[in-house]
Structure 1
């Protein structure tokens, strides 16, 4: 007569837990590390300039070897292109969100100016302003300038609509758009994180002066009074 096996002997073995993460998780990890490379590069470009920053500098700040960087980027040109593209994309997305909310052109224009002012004090936005795309190959410059053109056209559209609705003085929308973007871009060149003013204070003062000019009108508050209301 045969003996029965213990019940435990008939149980299937527990499946092994794979030490490898799923492909989707690996891709997320790679993208996170690539973004870290780009963010660090943008910080260094803003601090030292494009030419004075090497891949060795970027690797050192990330505590990795230089060859490790090549798993995430091809070269320094690609890093600059992606940093500037990200800055432009942030501006486009921020301005697109303003457009979705609708409202009067003047209100949209003021909101877009606040978006622009805020983003050019951030790493990628600052890199967009401080590092010239002249450093890049022609095809890369062309792609970035198409994105810049979209932003310029949006400002022109809002200025033209503001004139039509009577909230803005008659002017050339093209010149006005250049002046607005140029003035706000200087925030990105001059801003210091440890400086006297916060990004919000700088934006408030710059936008107030662009909106009202520098001549004091009897019925308008001084810029200092506007800032005090923050």
Structure 2
């Protein structure tokens, strides 16, 4: 029988090696998504054979799920610590502080990277359900930020919607935060906290968005309309089931067309994802253009644009493609789509900057505010699942207004 000390050392070695595999696999997962992760790549990253890695993780999905669940649990620990302060604002600031410190440690290689959580939809059963259970626990913990007597007026549905928006800010920040030096992360944190608590509204501003007809955002007629129908069906399946779950067979069945017809319009599935993203960005650009043509000041135009896109997400013309699909694309394609997303954000930044100059929007960091608005509108695609009884016309007030006016305001 082995001495107890030897058994403990063996367990320690096992855990260290397992953590090293998870660290390496998470970096691959963040670059290539669940679709691109392989056991052999993870093994090579830690100088092991693939057979040795299977001693820890039998299948690729076991490894991917372990990466995602470990990341979700790390975020849960942050949320647990963030609930110590008494006020919602201080709790939110604590959560952002812990998150950005983890981002700084990751850049300095003092901590393992956090995984792209949204890619859990690409897992297969039962790993997807296990990851979803862990995420649900995280979600409920973050929602406790709103649990104070002062916010008793806020319905469960509104707390749920605002929690989803807060989490999306963290997830999307992983995409744009690398533009900043780690020494500036504390400044970014403070700007984000300021925007989340106070919105971008100047004193005296009200949430009374001018309407933009949904038909103005959707494709018109003819070949454009036929392609829109095809891309919308694909978008809905990809958002619901992930890249792997939205197979060519399922997309074709949804539209009652043959696989041959699918490949007539799309050379490969990656091309279809790109086309869905391009449709998404075009709808957002169209909303921005229509809003900028409206009478009034920049605050009123920005509200109109945000409200129209939030409503579009839940309308018969929606949703837009979730950014979670980015991880399914090859790296070069993904960079191109992120550049498209950044151009949409840059236009929001221009609208915000012009509003600050004219006094209709309060002084905020327009670049950070624009990325946060982009993230909010993207996450609105989930609102129907989170708050099933919400109607498209109510979506702007439930989801976009908190970003514009402040998450703790009525």
TM-score by length of 2: 0.42
1:1-230 mapped onto 2 (5 Å cutoff): 34-121=227-314, 126-129=319-322, 131-192=324-385, 195-215=388-408, 223=410
CA contact (8 A) 1:117 1:184 kept: yes
- Report the CA distance shift for 1:65/1:197 in structure 2 as closer, same or farther (over 3 A): same
Which piece of structure 1 moves more, 111-120 or 73-82?
Answer: 111-120
- Report the CA distance shift for 1:73/1:30 in structure 2 as closer, same or farther (over 3 A): farther
- Report the CA distance shift for 1:135/1:122 in structure 2 as closer, same or farther (over 3 A): farther
CA contact (8 A) 2:313 2:381 kept: yes
Cα distance in structure 1, aligned partners of 2:332 and 2:365: 31
CA contact (8 A) 1:46 1:130 kept: no
**Structure 2 gap ranges (5+):** 1-220
- Report the CA distance shift for 1:78/1:202 in structure 2 as closer, same or farther (over 3 A): same
Cα distance in structure 2, aligned partners of 1:125 and 1:104: 28
Cα distance in structure 1, aligned partners of 2:228 and 2:346: 29
- Report the CA distance shift for 1:186/1:31 in structure 2 as closer, same or farther (over 3 A): closer
Name the one with the larger helix percent. Answer: 2
CA contact (8 A) 1:34 1:73 kept: no
CA contact (8 A) 2:239 2:322 kept: no
- Report the CA distance shift for 1:74/1:158 in structure 2 as closer, same or farther (over 3 A): same
Larger Rg: 1
CA contact (8 A) 2:302 2:351 kept: yes
Count of paired positions: 190
Structure 1 residue aligned with 2:110: none
Shift of 1:102: 4.8
- Report the CA distance shift for 1:193/1:75 in structure 2 as closer, same or farther (over 3 A): farther
Structure 1 residue aligned with 2:142: none
CA contact (8 A) 1:94 1:115 kept: yes
CA contact (8 A) 2:323 2:378 kept: no
**Structure 1 gap ranges (5+):** 1-27, 217-222, 224-230
- Report the CA distance shift for 1:74/1:194 in structure 2 as closer, same or farther (over 3 A): farther
Shift of 1:69: 1.9
Cα distance in structure 2, aligned partners of 1:73 and 1:124: 21
TM-score by length of 1: 0.70
Cα deviations by residue, 1:162-182 (Å, 9 ceiling, x for unpaired): 222222222211121122222
